[in-house]
């Protein structure tokens, strides 16, 4: 089984070389590392091109959001699985081996990883970054509205991952892999510095929260 690690990135060109190197060095089943950039982010585009064949560049043609970038890339994924990554992660060796093993054992279509921070993640009830089977996305859709080909609902930023996980749990196709370590180096965890990209993502939290509650009520 093969994986395409999808990494939306904006305004963080200096991070990309180390992120791609980390993914490549820690993974046994990653076929492609895809960076999804905005067309006006020239520094990110240049940084990805400088990486040569170790990373693929896609320009986002959907909403300028994390979910928009992931959805934009889905149609271009050739691997059997995709990973909803980001540019503030640290992958531990064998994360993908552990996650795919659990998928084989359980038949799960969405496998959560351990971000070593979020309380719900540590309890096995949530995943901030997940492995998702491409066939599942293309046939059923991975969101509450069950639109084939749709991986994430395009909130402003927040609640993208909770919907992915809650829908998979509702369908009984979720498994949580505590041993798949993908550390989230987020400033709220004391593991990174706040920047404009984080601030923009948090700016409409209440709006996203209300939409998530509405969509989950309809799911039940």
Whichever domain contains 194, its CATH number is: 3.90.550.10
Residue 45 neighbours by CB under 8 Å, 6+ apart: 37, 39, 57, 59
Residue 113 neighbours by CB under 8 Å, 6+ apart: 95, 99, 127, 129, 130, 131, 177, 180, 181, 182
Report the pLDDT value the prediction gives residue 202, as an integer from 0 to 100: 64
What is the DSSP code (8-state) at residue 126?
-
> How far lies 65's CA from each of 36, 82, 178, 202, in Å?
11, 18, 28, 12
Query: How many domains in the chain?
Result: 1
Going across the sheet that includes 110-114, the strands are: 56-59, 30-37, 3-8, 81-84, 130-133, 110-114, 174-184, 89-91
Reduce the DSSP state of residue 58 to 3 states and report it.
strand
Determine the Cα–Cα distance for residues 91 and 189; give it in Å rounded to an integer: 16
Global pTM reads 0.95
Report the pLDDT value the prediction gives residue 152, as an integer from 0 to 100: 98
Determine the Cα–Cα distance for residues 218 and 220; give it in Å rounded to an integer: 5
Report the pLDDT value the prediction gives residue 156, as an integer from 0 to 100: 87
Walk along the chain (220 residues) in steps of 10 and give the mean pLDDT of each run.
Answer: 97 97 98 98 98 98 96 97 98 98 98 96 97 98 97 92 98 98 85 69 81 87
What is the DSSP code (8-state) at residue 4?
E
Residue (of 90, 105, 7) closest to 47 by Cα position: 7
Q: Which residue range is the domain that position 165 belongs to?
A: 3-219
């Amino acid at each position: 089984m093969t994986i395409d690690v999808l990494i939306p990135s904006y305004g963080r060109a200096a991070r990309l070389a180390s992120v791609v190197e980390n993914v490549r060095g820690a993974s046994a089943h990653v076929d492609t590392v895809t960076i999804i950039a905005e067309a006006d982010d020239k520094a990110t585009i240049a940084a990805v091109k400088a990486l040569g064949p170790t990373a693929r560049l896609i320009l986002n043609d959907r909403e300028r959001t994390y979910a928009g970038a992931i959805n934009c890339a889905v149609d271009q994924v050739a691997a059997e699985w995709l990973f909803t990554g980001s540019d503030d992660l640290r992958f531990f060796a064998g994360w993908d081996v552990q996650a795919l093993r659990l998928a084989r054992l359980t038949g799960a279509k969405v496998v959560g990883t351990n971000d070593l921070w979020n309380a719900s993640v540590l309890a096995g009830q949530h995943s901030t970054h997940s492995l998702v089977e491409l066939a599942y996305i293309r046939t059923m859709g991975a969101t509450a509205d069950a639109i084939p080909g749709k991986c994430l609902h395009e909130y402003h930023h927040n609640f993208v991952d909770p919907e992915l996980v809650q829908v998979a749990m509702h369908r009984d196709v979720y498994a949580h892999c505590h041993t798949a370590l993908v550390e989230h180096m987020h400033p709220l965890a004391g593991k990174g510095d706040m920047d404009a990209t984080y601030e923009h993502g948090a700016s409409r939290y209440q709006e996203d929260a209300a939409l998530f509650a509405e969509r989950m009520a309809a799911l039940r």
